Amino acid sequence: MVTSSSSPTVLKRWIAFELRKLREDRSISREEAAAAIKGSVPAIGHVETGRSLPKPLELERLLELYGVPERAEFFLDLRLRAKKGRDWWIGFDDSAVPEYFKLFLGLESSAVKIESWDAIVVPGLFQTPDYARAIIRGGRPEFPATEVEKRVELRMARQDEVLDQEDAPQVWAVISEAALRLRVGSPAILNAQLEHLVELREHPNIEMQVLPATAGAHTGAEGAFTVLTFPNELEHDPGCVYTETRAKGVYYEEPAQVMLYRDALTRLRVQADKPEDFARWVKQTAKDL
């Protein structure tokens, strides 16, 4: 369900996405929608892209036009929380939270299911502070120590926000054998990280699989990705896929695009060892350090 912890940024996105789909499904033009609220076509465009929120009366009129007046209470509640809420990462400055990453932080903390494929390193949600620090230093050697620490703090705050909330999402990660074996920091740091993974698997909402090197060619060869699923109340939202390059984050939100990644993840799960074998993989990797 849509919880009180949902990010205002994401609530605006959800309102925009749902209203656009409702209008399109009824084959109603933006001009007709604008006439219904005695507004302008650009104003409808701003609502449907999340740039602005409709006023309560406008929202009720649009839902009546779209044939779902019974959903007014649900949408009005989303709107109220979008206006009154506060994104959890506000306390971090822009150097720690790049602009392209802000939407992902909101989507991740609002998802009911987080599924990922990680080819090179352990997922950020599972990293220990020392492991995260070594990854950030290695990947961005130009960062001063203060900048590294800001990003470590952000990563730990993500874990608190996502994994420690009352209604924590289901988290399922497929991790490559290479990611488990990558010598990050030192043997001691990697060993502590491996032990942390075993501890996390004790959580009923967290599952992990290892894709062994012997699996051969697979659907994750193009790189890591995360698939997010949102509450059932959002009837038209297909979810979202997030991938990241060194320069920016990329979001895929069209149903066909999301399905491509869901299918790829399903294939990875089939090729990976069973979840109950994860502890064995970790113990063997630690033994080989």
List, for residues 121-178, the tens digit of each pLDDT value.
999 999 999 999 999 999 999 999 999 999 999 999 999 999 988 788 999 999 999 9
Distant-in-sequence, close-in-space partners of 46: CB < 8 Å, separation ≥ 6: 52
Query: Is 164 strand, coil or helix?
Result: coil
235 forms beta bridges with none
Distant-in-sequence, close-in-space partners of 97: CB < 8 Å, separation ≥ 6: 89, 105, 154
DSSP-derived secondary structure letter, 251? E
Query: Is 141 strand, coil or helix?
Result: coil
Q: At what angle do helices 145-163 and 129-139 cross, to 10 degrees?
A: 130
Per-residue pLDDT of the chain (289 residues; tens, 9 = 90+): 555 457 788 888 889 989 999 999 999 999 999 999 999 999 999 999 888 899 999 999 999 999 999 999 999 998 998 888 888 898 898 888 988 999 899 999 889 999 999 999 999 999 999 999 999 999 999 999 999 999 999 999 999 999 988 788 999 999 999 999 999 988 999 999 999 999 999 899 999 999 999 998 999 999 999 999 998 877 778 899 999 988 899 999 899 999 999 999 999 999 999 999 998 988 888 888 7
Rounded to the nearest 5 degrees, what angle is found at the Cα of 88, between the Cα atoms of 147 and 126? 65
Residue-range domains of the chain with CATH: 8-84 (1.10.260.40), 88-287 (3.30.870)
Element (H, E) at 181: helix 177-181
Cα separation values, 268 from 31, 227, 273, Å: 45, 13, 10
Distant-in-sequence, close-in-space partners of 54: CB < 8 Å, separation ≥ 6: 15, 19, 37, 47, 62, 79
Q: Residue type at 169?
A: P
- The Cα–Cα gap between 106 and 6 comes to 7
156 contacts 129 by C-beta, under 8 angstroms = yes
